[in-house]
Amino acid sequence: MRPAGEGRLRIVAGEAGELPGIPPASVHLIVTSPPYPMVALWDEMFAAAGAHDYASMHALLTNAWRAARSALVPGGLLVVNIGDALRSVDGEFRLWPNHSAVVDSCESLGFRSLPYVLWKKPTNKPNAFLGSGFLPPNAYVTLDCEFLLIFRNGKLRAFPPHDRAREASRFAKAERDRWFSQVWTDIRGARQATGDRRSAAFPPAIPERLIRMFSCVGETVLDPFAGTGTTLWEAVRLGRNAIGVENDPRRLEHLRAVAERAGYPDF
């Protein structure tokens, strides 16, 4: 039996750049992690969509940010989890600053950037440095954080005084102090137990925190790159309605199987 107060769930087969069947201005919060440009794990997927270089990969992602803007209510928030990439191209080793490309795209689409969060990825190899040894100046900093880029769709949302759903979503002072700081070093639990090491799932603590920070009970949370559904399961557990969009049939099958086992009602 599902606990009282859980939200409803909708799983949509389709493209993040199209968001089929999701009406304009119907989503309060988007928490998502897209495929990362210039990270080898995603090369095949970008290539299948006709994107072979950094610019065209980000052009594809920009379609998703455009659709996200239209799905959000005025004042709704988009949170994009993304990491930069390190990769040699034509013999030159470079940092590919995915976070700045996403900021540029979203700003040009009319989103407004809010202060972002850097979260430190848990590692079981704390002494492993990717840099090149102990002699200056040719070592480089280990890439061990990811960005949570936060964008608002227009002006602040307005609420009537003492709005009940908002009051019911209040967080404690200790939570506020920890969550609204710019560097998160306490994210544990790494990956979901999907048995698939290539799932690129983020730790459930990421969407859990963001959903409590940026949405109210009863509102709608969307993940247009749903993957294993980490955002969806957290949203439903926290009393929000969740919509997941995914274009990979294997992932969709997994999402539907989990949803069916849990008995989440559709909406």
CA R_g for the chain: 19
Q: How far is the CB of 127 from ligand SAM (least distance, A)?
A: 27
Could you list the residues that contact ligand SAM (CB under 6 A)?
15-17, 33-35, 45, 199-202, 225, 227-228, 230, 245-248, 251
Residue at shortest CB range from ligand SAM: 227
Nearer to ligand SAM, 16 or 27 (CB): 16
CA angle (70 as vertex; 250, 255 as ends), nearest 5: 20
Minimum distance, C-beta of residue 147 to ligand SAM, in the bound complex (Å)? 14
How many angstroms separate the most distant Cα atoms in the chain?
Answer: 60
Spatial separation of the C-alpha atoms in residues 230 and 205, rounded to whole Å = 9
The minimum distance between CB 240 and ligand SAM, in angstroms, equals 16
Three-point CA angle 53, 77, 213, nearest 5°:
120
Residue 168 or 227 having the CB closest to ligand SAM: 227
Tokens of 162: 């003492």
CA distance 248 to 201: 14
Is the Cβ of residue 177 or residue 253 nearer to ligand SAM in the bound state? 253
Q: How far is the CB of 248 from ligand SAM (least distance, A)?
A: 4
Q: Which is nearer to ligand SAM, 26 or 192 (CB)?
A: 192
Judged by CB, which is closer to ligand SAM: 50, or 161?
A: 50
Euclidean distance between CA atoms 115 and 134, whole angstroms: 34
Q: CB 56 → ligand SAM: shortest distance, Å?
A: 13
Residue pair 249/17 in contact (Cβ under 8 Å)? The answer is no
